[in-house]
Structure 1
Amino acid sequence: MKLLSYTHQGREGWGALDAGGQGVVDLGRRLPHIAGVRQLLEGDAPAMSQAREAWAGATADHALCDVQLDLPVRQPPRIFCIGVNYAHRNAEYKDGSELPRYPSIFMRVPDSFSAHGEPLLRPAESQQLDYEGEIGIVIGQGGRRIPRETALAHIGGFTCINEGTIRDWVHHAKFNVTQGKNWFRSGAIGPWLVTPDEYPAGLGHLRVRTRVNGETRQDDTTEHLMFDFAYLVHYLSTFAPLLPGDVIATGTPIGAGIRFDPPRFLQPGDVVEVEVTGVGVLRNVIEAEAQ
């Protein structure tokens, strides 16, 4: 299923994309004891079975074009972001460093992300809004010290992420990137959460592509990840109990705007699309933030 959170005529709801991909099945109405996508994930296999049964063969309650999509999981508990996870990106730094032994990690807050179709905001304080297309993991079954061998079973689904960054603010301090990574609505998550059963042949090599105004800027597959999905779930759960609804942004390929000469930062009116295998396309337009 493609699970989503949405607003329709001022009312918040949750559900799933219908089989045709153009309608929304209101699972909240059919399963009133489950408050949202996060609560569905918390219910684990029994709740997911109820959702699939309610979804199967159901007629859409709303046209997709008539709803405003929200983040797939509203207010995710934590958003873990992995830096420099594609081997090509390590080389992109041209600093002669060897491949890392452990992943680089930073955190983001939920309101630093817009939903699919909402604008990304370039703040008045900077002209350096950049894009970073990524594959997002959403945790289903939580846990602590999860073995790598069973880690994939803890994934509740996949989504698209634009891990937008204000580049000059990333370099304000020596040992952190927090302030450049948490500007209000500088990134995006969506359009929905795709459950693992949508990949019947296994995950294989998932592809992530980023386009700006139709021009492909980033294009790579998980074949080149230094730390794969199972390892990330295992590693993060070693120091922090993972919770249903936690999001992991798994890293961006080469081709971000900062790496061009001269840099190609996002301008108001630009359209950014992030496409992930089996998920679809996350699309946002850049706007200048009102002061």
Structure 2
Amino acid sequence: MRIASIVTSEGPCVGVDDGDSVIDLRSLAPELPADLRRLLQLGPEALADIGRRARTGGRRLDPERVRFLPVIPGPHAVWCAALNYPTHVREGNWERPSRPPFFLRVAGSLCGHLEPIVQPTVSERLDYEGELAVVIGRRARHVPMADAYEVIAGYSCFNDASVRDWQRHTAQITSGKNFAATGAFGPWLTTVDELAENEIENAELTTRLNGTVMQRTKIGEMIFGIPELINYLSTISELLPGDVIVTGTPGGVGARRTPQVFMNPGDLVEVEIDRVGLLRNPIVREES
């Protein structure tokens, strides 16, 4: 099942992918929350029930006539892994990490599918970073790696767009990672039952800028795999339903190319992951 956070003329709600249309969850289960994070808090059984109900019908919406929000519009935490693909480590001539490096994104830095990624007025060095996002489905603490997939609700596409000059202001990269509307997230939460562990590991991630492939990798090429990331983070902090783990970007980022390539107003950037989804965003300049 693939579900999304959307806005219609009647307000925000959860939508279920039905191929050429989106089923409005309000028409199937008006008693359920209209917020995907709150829906996940009800547990995996609630998601399974939605899948069963969606097969019975419901009000269909035209995907072209709804607005996609970030998959989790107001997450409790967005943990982002850095330096998690060997190709990215090599292109930056960095030392291969021995533990997963993480930084945090704030909810206000996120945007949804087809929403603009905003190039800020203070920079013209806005770079793409295609990544897999893992969404947590249940409360989890000290999760053994063998049990990691049991706490996942599903997967989504993420573009961790980075303002490179601001990222390099200090040794801490957080400032360049939290400009408004730079973290594109969506369009779907593809539930974990749709992909077995080996299928998500073998899925291919592709980033395209104006139709040109800039990044391509298999998810399984990560230095720290999904179980290791969940084990490590759940040791630091209790993971909550709707928490997001953005798993890192492969080589091919614009700042490490010769000549460098950055995203500019009028560009279109896409992040596609096999069987997970296709995230597409135009680039606009921030209004002064």
TM-score computed with the length of structure 2 as normaliser: 0.95
- Where does residue 49 of structure 1 map in the other structure? 48
Q: Does 1:4 align with 2:1?
A: no
- Where does residue 125 of structure 1 map in the other structure? 122
* 1:210–1:217 CA contact under 8 A, matched in 2: yes
1:109 aligns with one of 106, 109, 112:
106
Q: Distance in 2 between matches of 1:241 and 1:228?
A: 19
Residues 52-61 or 175-184, more deviating: 52-61
Give the match's secondary structure for 2:150.
helix
Identity percentage over the alignment? 36
Q: Distance in 1 between matches of 2:26 and 2:227?
A: 31
* 2:23–2:61 CA contact under 8 A, matched in 1: yes
- Where does residue 25 of structure 1 map in the other structure? 23
Offset at residue 93 of structure 1 (A): 1.9
Give the match's secondary structure for 1:172.
coil
Q: Distance in 1 between matches of 2:168 and 2:89?
A: 18
1:214 aligns with one of 211, 214, 228:
211
- Cα-to-partner distance string for 1:207-241 (whole Å, 9 max, x where unaligned): 11100000000000122111000111111000100
Give the match's secondary structure for 2:140.
coil
- Structure 1: tracts of 5 or more residues without a match: none
Q: 2:40 is aligned with what amino acid?
A: L
Q: 1:86 is aligned with what amino acid?
A: Y
* 2:25–2:58 CA contact under 8 A, matched in 1: no
- Structure 2: tracts of 5 or more residues without a match: none
* 2:269–2:282 CA contact under 8 A, matched in 1: yes
Q: Distance in 2 between matches of 1:223 and 1:194?
A: 18
- Where does residue 177 of structure 1 map in the other structure? 173
Matches within 5 A, 1:225-240: 225-240=222-237
* 1:17–1:24 CA contact under 8 A, matched in 2: yes
Q: Does 1:251 align with 2:248?
A: yes
User: Alpha carbon RMSD of aligned pairs, Å?
Assistant: 1.4
Offset at residue 255 of structure 1 (A): 0.5
Q: Does 1:199 align with 2:195?
A: yes
- Cα-to-partner distance string for 1:121-167 (whole Å, 9 max, x where unaligned): 10110010110000010000121111111011111010000000000
- Where does residue 157 of structure 2 map in the other structure? 160
Displaced runs of 4+ in structure 1, greater than 4 A? Answer: none
Q: Does 1:82 align with 2:78?
A: no
* 1:27–1:54 CA contact under 8 A, matched in 2: no
Q: 1:236 is aligned with what amino acid?
A: L
Q: Distance in 2 between matches of 1:40 and 1:202?
A: 26
TM-score computed with the length of structure 1 as normaliser: 0.95
Q: Does 1:63 align with 2:62?
A: yes
1:186 aligns with one of 182, 186, 199:
182
* 2:16–2:22 CA contact under 8 A, matched in 1: yes
Q: Distance in 2 between matches of 1:142 and 1:156?
A: 11
Give the match's secondary structure for 1:275.
strand
* 1:208–1:277 CA contact under 8 A, matched in 2: yes
* 1:80–1:248 CA contact under 8 A, matched in 2: yes
